[in-house]
Structure 1
Amino acid sequence: MKPQSILNPILFSLFFFIITTESADIPLGSTLYASNQNSNWNSPNRTFSLGFISEGPTYFAAVTYNGIPIWRAGGVDTGAADSSASLQFLSDGNLRLVNGSGALVWQSSTAGRGVSSAALDDSGNFVLRNGTTSVWSTFDNPTDTILPSQNFTIHNVLRSGLYTFHLLSSGNLTLRWNDSIVYWNIWFNSSSRWNESTGINSMNFSSPILGLQPIGVLTLSDPTLSAAANVVYSSDYAEGSDILRFVKLDDDGNLRIYSSTRGSGEDTVRWSAVGDQCEVFGFCGNMGICSYNDSSPICGCPSENFELIDPNDSRKGCKRKMEIEDCPGSATMLDMPHAKFLTYPPELSSQIFSVGNSACRLNCLVSGSCVASTTLADGTGMCYLKVPNFVSGYQSPSLPSTSYVKVCGPVSPNPSASSLNAGKDNGWRLHAWIVAVVVVGTVLCLIMLEGGLWWWCFRNSPKFSGLSAQYALLEYASGAPVQFSYKELQRSTKGFREKLGAGGFGAVYKGALANRTIVAVKQLEGIEQGEKQFRMEVATISSTHHLNLVRLIGFCSEGRHRLLVYEFMKNGSLDNFLFTTEEQSGKLLNWEYRFKIALGTARGVTYLHEECHDCIVHCDIKPENILLDETYNAKVSDFGLAKLVNSKDHRYRTLTSVRGTRGYLAPEWLANLPITSKSDIYSYGMVLLEIVSGRRNFEVSEDTNRKKFSVWAYEEFEKGNVKGIVDKRLHEEVDMDQVKRAIKVSFWCIQEQPSQRPMMGKVVQMLEGVMEIERPPAPKAVIEGSASGTSVNVSSNVSALSTAVASAPAPSSSSSFQTPGISSSVSSKNVERASSSLLHSELK
C-alpha cells in the first residue's frame, strides 16, 4: 500500500475528530466559573459563546456575539451574580446560576424532564435536549434580545428594568412602562400595513409570530396571513454579507434594531421604535424632566424646589425639598413653558378637561390629588391633570405646551447658564478678556484689510467668479440652506423680470443660480420679524424634507429684503390644470394624474402634521400652493410661511393674524376658535373636491341651482349621482371606486366641527383604500370672509379669557374620527362652570 493511501484515512479521522469536538454536545455535570472568563461553551462556528461577562463588580452568565450579550441567565435585572458565581449544568438536567455562597440566582427548572445534553448552535440558540427533542432553549425564553431565526410569540416578553416589549394576539407591538403605561404601539391592519397608534387593533390572529430576517426586516407571520407582513426595515436593509442584526430592548425603554459586523465587537443602531427619546415614559424617573443637550437626552428637575433622588444617577428622578403637606404657607404653581407631562393609556381616560391655561393651572392648585398639570397650546385646549403616582416630564423649546408643578413657595426656577457664573470672582477674567479682545481685534483687522485688498484686485477676474460658483454649488449640494445676497438674487432673476405668479406671501420669479440650477425666488411681503427669528423659521422650513414638499434651497435676509429660494417646479401650480378653459384643453389632467396628485398632497401634509419633529400647520392649502414637477408629482409649497407674517393691522382683536384664502378657510377661523392641523384638513377637503370636479368649491352657477358647489355636490352625493360631481371634461374611463373614496373623504374633511375631521394620516389610508370609510354627514355651509376679494386675514389666536370661560365645544361622540381619549367623566358644562369660577377668582 502506498504511504499516501495510508495517510488519507488518518487525516480524515483527525479532521472528523476536530469537527465533532467543536460541535460536541455539552455533557451533564459541566460547569462554568465567573473567575475564569476564558472558559466558554461555543457554537460550532465559534460565532456565539456562553460564558461569564463582567459589568463593573457584577457578573452575568450570558450568550454573547463577539462580546455583545444577546441573552443573560435571569435577565438584566435578576441575573446579577458575584465574582465567585458558577453556571452549573447538573446531572438532573437543571441549569442553574449560583453565587459563591451557594445562593440561587437563576435556574431553568428542567430537573426531572429527561435532559441529557446541551448545545449552543450557530444561530445563537442555547438548547437543553432530551435526545433530539428540545426541552428548554434561550430562544423560547428571551431576556432583552431577539435574533434572526428566533420566533417571538405572544407568550414571550422582552424586559429591561421597568420596560417591557410585548406581541399581542391582535398583532400589536407594544412598549410598556411598569407593565401598565403603553407609550409605544404599532398595529397591523387588514392590508398588511403598520401604523403607530394609541389605540389597540381589533384584529385577532390564531398564533402570531414576530421574527427578524437576517437582512434586517422585522416581520409578522400567522396562519391567517397569506405571506409574512413586513413591520419595519433597518436602515442598512439587505446591505453586507457578514452582519448580525438583532432587536434589543435597551434600559432606556427604547426598542432598537442593531447591526454588528462579524469580528468587530461593535454594534450600530439601525432603527428605533421611539424616535424622540424624551417621549419614553419614565425615562428620567418620577418628577424628572427630560431635555436635550445638543443631540443627547439629559435629565434634570423641574426647579430648585426639587433635588435629585440620586446625585450619581439623574435618571432616578427628583423629589421635593419640602413636601406639599409640610408647606409653612399655601402651595403655589411653578410655571414651566414649553414643557409637558407625558400622558399615555391608561392614564388618557382620566383627569382630562377642555379649558384654558389659567383654569388648567388653578384646577390643579385647588385639587388635593393633583401635583402637576399640562395645557396644550396646539389649539385643542386640552388640560391634563397629573396625580402623584408617577409623573414623567419633557421640556423643549419646540413643544407647544405649558406645564405647572405644585410646590411650596417661594418658587425657585432653575438658574440659566449665565446666572450660574454670576457669583464667581470675575476680576482676573476681566483683565484676561481685555487682553484677548485687543489681540483678536488686531488680528481681525489685519485679516479684513488683507482680504479687502485681495478682493479689490481680483473681483473682476474670471477665475474668481468661477470659484464662487463652485463654492455656491458645494453649499447647495450639502443640503443646508444657502444664504444669498440681494444682488445675487437680482442677478440670477435678471432684475426680477420673469414673474411666475403671486400669492398671499409675495410674488415669485424664475431665476438661475451660478451653478445653472433653475430656481423660484419668492419676495416675501409683510415680514416684520427680526433677523434672528427669521433665520430660525427658515432653518425649520429648510430642515423639512419630503417627496411631496417643495424644497427650500436658500434665503436672503438683507435689510428690509426677505426672499426665499425654492426648487423650480416645471409644470407650475395645480390650479392651472384644474380650472382650464376649452382653449387650454391640452393642460387637462386625466383621472390617474389627479388621484396621484390628491394622494401625494395628502402624504406631504401628513408629514407636516404628524411626522415632523415639530407639527407645522400650513394655514393656506389651496391648488395655487400645490406645485407639479416634470412628471406631475404633487409638492406642497409655502408651508411654514404663516409664522413669518406679523400683521400690523390693528383692526383685528388679537395680536397675531395669519392669511388664508376665500373658499378654503375652515369655520373656526372666522369663529375666532383655535387654529390647529384640523384647519388644514378642511382646506384639503375643499381642494380634493376641486380635483374631482374641476370646479371651484365656492363657484355658484345655474348648474348648481345657485348654490355653492360644495353644498350642491353633497346633495348630489346623497342622491347617488356621483358621476354628476366628476369633471365632465374627463371623457375617458375613470376609476369610480377611487372617485367615491375621494368624494367621501372630501366631505369628512370639510365637517364643521374639527373633531369630526380625520387626521391627515387617516386621510391617506382612506384614499389608498386600506381603511373603510363611513358615510359622511352633511357638511354645513359657512360664509367665509368678504366676497369682494380672494384673500382675507383671520385671527389665529384665542385669548386665554375666552378660552377658559367659553371653553371649546366637546367633540361629538358620534364621530368615528373623534380624537381618542378626549373625554371626561365630568360634563363639559360643569368644567366650564368650574373653570370660569376659578379664573374669575384669579383675575380678582
Structure 2
Amino acid sequence: MLKFALFLLHFLFFTISSSSTIIPLPSTLRASARNQSWSSPDSSFSLSFVQITQSSFILAITYNAGNVIVWSVSNNGTGDSVAVDSGGTFSLLPNGALRLINGSGSIVWDSATTNRGVSHASIDDSGNFQLLNNDGFPLWSSFENPTDTLIPSQNFTVGKILRSGSYSLSLDRPGNLNLKWNDTVEYWSLGFNSSINGNLSSPRFMLRSNGILVGLDPSFPSGMINMAFSTDYGEGNDVFRFLRMDADGNLRIYSASGNSGAGNVTPTWAAVTDQCRVFGFCGDMGICSYRDSNPICGCPSRNFEPIDVNDGRKGCKRKVELEDCPGDVSMLQLEHTAFLTYLPEVSEQTFIVGIVACRSNCLQSGSCIASTLVADGSGFCYMKTPGFVSGYQGEVLPSTSFVKVCGQAVLNTPLYQDTSEKDNDLRLQVVVVVVIVLATLLALVAVVTGFWCWFYRGSEKSGHISAKYELVDYASGAPVKFSYKELQQSTKGFSEKLGEGGFGAVYKGTLPNRMVVAVKQLEGIEQGEKQFRMEVATISSTHHLNLVRLVGFCSEGRHRLLVYEFLRNSSLDKFLFTPNESLNWENRFNVALGTARGLTYLHEECRDCIIHCDIKPENILLDEVHTAKVSDFGLAKLMNPKDQRYLSLASIGGTRGYLAPEWLANLPITSKCDVYSYGMVLLEIVSGTRNFEVSRETDGKKFSLWAYSEFEKGNVEAIVDKRLAEVNSEQVVRAILVSFWCIQEQPSQRPMMGKVVQMLEGVIDIERPPAPKPVTEVTSGGTTMTLDGNVSAISTYATSTTAPSSSPSL
C-alpha cells in the first residue's frame, strides 16, 4: 500500500512538473535572500520579493523578460501592494497556510487555506501560482485572485475585480466590463453586443497573447466576440501582452518585447482615449486640462487652492468654505469646462433648461455646488451636489460650467491654475537673468522682423495671407484655428483616408489632447481668409445633438481645411447598401427622425437659415449608439461667396438621385431643396435600396416611382428592406407617406422640416400624397442630369413664381 502511495505521489509530481514547478510543504522565500524565487519551468514567470525602496519589499509574480509585475500580495480594499521590511518572509506552512510575515513576526496577509488539504504549491508557464490538494484540485490561485493585472489565458469572470487605488474594473452579469471610481461612479463600459439583452449564462473576458481582448459566453451565437485590439495585435511571437488597471483610472493593454530590457514596455490600447474624462483624475474640485498631449491638474480659480501643492491630483478646496462665508455667495462661470457626470448621477441631477436657469437654479439651491450646461442642442444641465466634483477644461468642449464661491468670483488667466508644478524661486531667478541677457537680441530681431513683414506682407510670392486676418476676433465657442503643419502631424501626413465627397477628401487624425477627429480638405474654395473664417464661425455657432460638431479649421495660404469630431460608425450608406451591414428598424427610424430634427434646426431655428444642398446617406454619420449626425452642412455657402441665392451643380458637386427639380431651372435655392433630398434618403432608409436604381424587380422603373405604385396597391411589404426581421408597421407607413410628400415636384407642396418631424412622430395626420412625376433627362451646357419631373412643368413653375413658399397645409 505504501509503495502504491509513493508511486501515485511520484506520478502526480511528474505529471504536474511537466508544465509547472512544484513547491513542497513547507517552503519559504526571504526578502533578505537576493535572487531567491519560485520560477515556472520555462523561467518566464517567477514568484519572489521585489525591492521597491531601500528598506521595503513586496511579494510579486513577475514576467522575467521585462521584469513586469503581473500579480502581488495586495490589500483587497485598495489594490495596493502590501510591503514588508527586509526581515519579511513568504511561507507555505505544513498546515497548508500561505502567509506573508513582516520582520516583526506580524502576519500581513494570509491565503485562508489552513487545514484545507493543501499538499503542495505550483507555478506554471502561464504565470499562475496555485495551492493544490493531493487530487491536483486548486484550493487557491493567483489567477482567481487578481490584483491590477490580467495576463493571457487568465479568465476574468463575474465577481472578480482589478483594482488600483480608487479605481476598479469589474464584469456584470449582462456581460459588460465597467470602470468605476470608488465602486460607485461608472465612467466607462464595454459590452458584448448591443443586440444582447438581459443576463448571459457565464460571461467572461480574456486577453489573448496576440493582443486581442475577447468576450466569451456559451449563450452567444459564436461563443466569442472580439472586443478590443492592441495596436500591435498579431505582431511578433516574442511579445508579451498584459491588461492593467492603472492608478490614473485608465485600463490599458501593454506590450513587452521578449528580448528587451526592463524599460521597453509600451501601451498599445487604452479604454478611455481622453484621460481627462476619467472621473476623479484630478481629485475633488480639480480641473483636468492638457499641456501638449499630457493631462495636467489645476484649480477652477483663485477662489480655490490645491490640497497638496506637490500633487495636483489630490484636488482643490475653497479658500473660504460656503458654510463659513461671511457675505454673499456668487457663481464662478467657466467657459469650455464640464463637470463630469456619469451613472448613477446622470439620472438623478439632470434638467433641461437654458444657460441662465442652469446658473441661477444652482445658485438658489442649497444642495447644489456646481452645474454644467452642455451646448450640443440637448439642453441638458447637470447639477452637482456636495461629495465629489470632477472637472474637465478644453478649448473644444461645447459646455459652460458654474461653481459656487464665497464673495466675488476671481477667474485665473489662463482659465485654470496649474498645480502640477511647485513654485521654484531659484528657477524664477534664472529665468529673469536669461531674459535680461537676451532682451537686447530679441528686441533687435523683433525690429528687423517687423520691417521685413511691413515690406513683404503684400507679396503674393510668399504664399501667405496678410497677417491682419490673424486679428479677427471670435465669440465664445468659436472653432480652434490650426496651422496646416499641425493638421499634417495630426493626420500623419494625411495617410488614413476615411472617404471622399463633393467638397473634398476626409482623413482621420488625432489632436494633441488625444481627441480623434476627421479632417476635411476642401476643394474649390476661392474665398479670402477673412471671408472664409467668418463663414466658418457662422457654421460653428450651430450646436445640436443631430449635427456633427465642428472642432476647428485651417486657413493658411491656399489651404482650407475643416476639423470635425470623429464618429466611429461611419456613414448611413454603409448600413443601408452593404450586404453584410444593417440596422434594425428601431435604429433606422431614430436615424430618420434625428436627421429631420437636425435639418429643422438648420432651416428654422438658426439665426440665419442654413441650406445643406447635399443631403444623402453619405453625409449622415452615426455615433457609437447610432445617433444620426448631419455633416457637411453649410459648406455650399462657402463655395460661392458672390451670390448666396444661386448655387450651381458644378460648385457643390450635387449628387444624382437627391437633387430637387429646380436646380437646373436656375431658380432660387431654398430649404425645400433639402426637403426633397431628405425624402429620397427617407425612402432609402425604409427600403435599403438606392432611390434611382432600376431593375427587373421594379419593372424597369426608378425605385422611387415603383415604390409609389406598390404603395398605391397596398403592397407595403414589397418596399420594406428584406433584411428587416421586425418592423413597426405604423412607423413604416408614416415614413413612406412622408417621403412621397418630400419628393413632390413643386417646392410649395413639400412640407417644412419641422412639419416632417411632427408627421414622423405621429403628432399630425398625413394625407395621401400625389404621385411623383416620371424621370426626364435634361441637358444643360453639355452636361446631362437626371431630374424628377419634366421640363414643361419646371418652366411653368419658373414663370409663375420666383420665391416658392410652403403649402399652407404643410
CA contact (8 A) 2:577 2:688 kept: no
CA contact (8 A) 2:615 2:678 kept: no
Q: Give the structure 2 partner of residue 214 of structure 1.
A: 209
Q: Give the structure 2 partner of residue 41 of structure 1.
A: 38
Distance in 2 separating the partners of 1:249 and 1:366: 40
Gaps of 5+ in 1: 1-15, 192-200, 450-454, 457-470, 483-499, 504-518, 539-548, 567-573, 579-590, 611-615, 629-634, 652-659, 665-679, 697-708, 727-734, 753-774, 794-844
Q: Give the structure 2 partner of residue 638 of structure 1.
A: 632
CA contact (8 A) 2:612 2:634 kept: no
Which of these residues, 208, 223, 237, is aligned with residue 241 of structure 1?
237
Q: Which amino acid aligns with 2:212?
A: V
Q: Secondary structure at the match of 1:365?
A: helix
Q: Give the structure 2 partner of residue 408 of structure 1.
A: 406
Q: Which amino acid aligns with 1:433?
A: A
Which of these residues, 227, 235, 238, is aligned with residue 231 of structure 1?
227
Q: Give the structure 2 partner of residue 522 of structure 1.
A: 524
Distance in 1 separating the partners of 2:33 and 2:634: 62
Using a 3 Å threshold, how does the CA distance of structure 1 residues 481 and 239 change in structure 2: closer, same or farther? Answer: closer
Distance in 2 separating the partners of 1:477 and 1:171: 35
TM-score normalised by structure 2 residue count:
0.61
Is 1:27 matched up with 2:35? no
Q: What is the deviation of 1:235? A: 1.6
Q: What is the deviation of 1:20? A: 7.3
Distance in 2 separating the partners of 1:477 and 1:172: 32
Q: Give the structure 2 partner of residue 52 of structure 1.
A: 49
Q: What is the deviation of 1:138? A: 0.1
Distance in 1 separating the partners of 2:224 and 2:335: 46
Q: What is the deviation of 1:105? A: 1.8
Q: Give the structure 1 partner of residue 257 of structure 2.
A: 261
Distance in 2 separating the partners of 1:737 and 1:683: 19
Is 1:151 matched up with 2:155? yes
CA contact (8 A) 1:370 1:385 kept: yes
Q: Secondary structure at the match of 2:439?
A: helix
Using a 3 Å threshold, how does the CA distance of structure 1 residues 152 and 426 change in structure 2: closer, same or farther? Answer: closer
Distance in 2 separating the partners of 1:646 and 1:295: 38
Distance in 2 separating the partners of 1:39 and 1:790: 89
Alignment deviations for residues 647-702 of structure 1 (CA, whole Å, 9 cap, x no partner):
99999xxxxxxxx99999xxxxxxxxxxxxxxx99996476469747279xxxxxx
Provide the alpha-carbon RMSD of the alignment: 5.7
Q: What is the deviation of 1:155? A: 2.2
Write the mapping of 1:93-492 to structure 2, written as runs, cut at 5 A.
Answer: 93-131=96-134, 132-189=136-193, 202-225=197-220, 226-264=222-260, 265=262, 266-416=264-414, 429=435, 432-438=438-444, 479-480=492-493
Using a 3 Å threshold, how does the CA distance of structure 1 residues 100 and 427 change in structure 2: closer, same or farther? Answer: closer
Distance in 2 separating the partners of 1:598 and 1:790: 39
Q: What is the deviation of 1:257? A: 1.2
Alignment deviations for residues 252-276 of structure 1 (CA, whole Å, 9 cap, x no partner):
1111111111142232111111111
Q: What is the deviation of 1:593? A: 6.8
Distance in 1 separating the partners of 2:86 and 2:602: 58
Q: What is the deviation of 1:23? A: 5.9
Distance in 2 separating the partners of 1:689 and 1:789: 34
Distance in 1 separating the partners of 2:320 and 2:709: 62
Distance in 1 separating the partners of 2:416 and 2:578: 57
Using a 3 Å threshold, how does the CA distance of structure 1 residues 368 and 294 change in structure 2: closer, same or farther? Answer: same
Gaps of 5+ in 2: 1-12, 456-460, 463-483, 496-500, 505-520, 541-547, 564-570, 596-600, 604-609, 620-628, 646-653, 662-676, 694-703, 739-758, 768-797
Q: What is the deviation of 1:205? A: 1.9
Alignment deviations for residues 284-338 of structure 1 (CA, whole Å, 9 cap, x no partner):
1111111111111111111111111122221111111110011120111111111
Distance in 2 separating the partners of 1:143 and 1:171: 20
Distance in 1 separating the partners of 2:119 and 2:408: 70
Using a 3 Å threshold, how does the CA distance of structure 1 residues 736 and 331 change in structure 2: closer, same or farther? Answer: same
CA contact (8 A) 2:330 2:405 kept: yes
CA contact (8 A) 2:185 2:344 kept: yes
Distance in 2 separating the partners of 1:777 and 1:535: 33
Write the mapping of 1:501-512 to structure 2, written as runs, cut at 5 A.
Answer: none
**Higher RCO, Cα 8 Å, sep 6+:** 1
Moved more, 52-61 or 287-296: 52-61
Alignment deviations for residues 458-508 of structure 1 (CA, whole Å, 9 cap, x no partner):
xxxxxxxxxxxxx99x989975479xxxxxxxxxxxxxxxxx9899xxxxx
Q: Secondary structure at the match of 1:77?
A: coil
Using a 3 Å threshold, how does the CA distance of structure 1 residues 289 and 722 change in structure 2: closer, same or farther? Answer: same
Q: Which amino acid aligns with 1:522?
A: G
Alignment deviations for residues 559-595 of structure 1 (CA, whole Å, 9 cap, x no partner):
xx885699xxxxxxx9xxx9xxxxxxxxxxxx96799
Using a 3 Å threshold, how does the CA distance of structure 1 residues 722 and 405 change in structure 2: closer, same or farther? Answer: same
CA contact (8 A) 1:308 1:318 kept: yes
CA contact (8 A) 2:279 2:390 kept: yes
Using a 3 Å threshold, how does the CA distance of structure 1 residues 532 and 736 change in structure 2: closer, same or farther? Answer: closer
Q: Which amino acid aligns with 2:39?
A: N
Q: What is the deviation of 1:623? A: 5.1
TM-score normalised by structure 1 residue count:
0.59
Alignment deviations for residues 220-265 of structure 1 (CA, whole Å, 9 cap, x no partner):
2223234222222222111111111111111111111111111422
Q: What is the deviation of 1:437? A: 3.6
Q: Secondary structure at the match of 2:382?
A: strand
Using a 3 Å threshold, how does the CA distance of structure 1 residues 357 and 419 change in structure 2: closer, same or farther? Answer: closer
**Identity of aligned pairs, percent?**
42
Using a 3 Å threshold, how does the CA distance of structure 1 residues 416 and 446 change in structure 2: closer, same or farther? Answer: closer
CA contact (8 A) 1:214 1:244 kept: yes
Is 1:84 matched up with 2:84? no
Q: Which amino acid aligns with 1:183?
A: Y
Q: Which amino acid aligns with 2:169?
A: F
Q: Which amino acid aligns with 1:69?
A: I
Q: Give the structure 1 partner of residue 775 of structure 2.
A: none
CA contact (8 A) 1:688 1:742 kept: no
Moved more, 71-80 or 170-179: 71-80
Q: What is the deviation of 1:445? A: 9.4
Distance in 2 separating the partners of 1:253 and 1:751: 51
CA contact (8 A) 1:662 1:790 kept: no
Distance in 2 separating the partners of 1:533 and 1:81: 65
Q: Secondary structure at the match of 2:156?
A: coil
Q: Which amino acid aligns with 1:736?
A: K
Distance in 2 separating the partners of 1:617 and 1:144: 49
Q: What is the deviation of 1:72? A: 0.8
Distance in 1 separating the partners of 2:63 and 2:434: 55
Using a 3 Å threshold, how does the CA distance of structure 1 residues 78 and 642 change in structure 2: closer, same or farther? Answer: farther
Write the mapping of 1:601-750 to structure 2, written as runs, cut at 5 A.
Answer: 638=632, 641=635, 685=682, 688=685, 692=689, 694=691, 716=711, 721-723=716-718, 725=719, 736-738=722-724
Q: Which amino acid aligns with 1:237?
A: Y
Q: Which amino acid aligns with 1:210?
A: F
Distance in 1 separating the partners of 2:716 and 2:58: 71
